[in-house]
Amino acid sequence: MSVREQLFVRTDGSPAQVAELAAKLIGGRAEVRDQQPWLLADTAQLVPGVVGEFGGPVVAHASEAAFRPDGEFEAPDAYDIEVRLWQTGGPRVDQATGADVEELAAAAVFQALAGSADLALIHVHNDDALLSAALPGTGTIAFPPGTTIYDWDADDWHGFVLRPAAGR
């Protein structure tokens, strides 16, 4: 399966703790597969009427900033945990509406975490499209189409995306 939806979370918690929290919030489950915590849910719990299973591994995220030129950064750089999400056993596109099931399901997980936990997080689609961000004490924002994770779009993030601290 290719990963088209990613949530990046800033936390001192472990991947297993993030998987457990998210599972509780969405009525899903956290389990261990290949020694990795996974978040899983029936897709219909996230996108009504759509069959399948949605989820994926929850892993520590290591920034690649050290491998980039000085001053260059990407939106996920300051986030500690990556939740990789995809749909199995069901459609990736809603036949009736043409909607992207994976994007909708990931947005539901994002909203559950943003609304119920004191976490900074971002939702990335197709590796580089920045869809939304949540910042504790500030709220959430949905970015306009075409907003990317790359530093040239940083002004469009309106302060909702955390920037990496020096040495982090």
Helix (H) or strand (E) holding 149: none
Distance CA 116, CA 93 (A): 28
* Domain assignments of the chain as residue spans, ordered by start: 5-157
| Interval 113-141 mean pLDDT | 95
Among 39-43, 61-65, 135-139, the minimum mean pLDDT is found in: 61-65
pTM for the structure as a whole? 0.95
Task: Give residue 94's pLDDT.
Answer: 86
| pLDDT recorded at residue 14 | 97
CA distance 134 to 120: 5
How many whole angstroms separate alpha carbon 108 and alpha carbon 47? 8
Question: What DSSP string runs through 90-110?
Answer: S-SB-TTT--BHHHHHHHHHH
- pLDDT tens for 42-99 read 999 999 999 999 999 999 998 887 788 888 899 999 999 999 999 999 999 988 889 9
The amino acid present at 153, given as its one-letter code, is: D
Q: How large is the average pLDDT for residues 26-35? A: 96
Give the tens place of pLDDT for each residue, 90-108: 999 988 889 999 999 999 9
Average pLDDT for the chain = 93
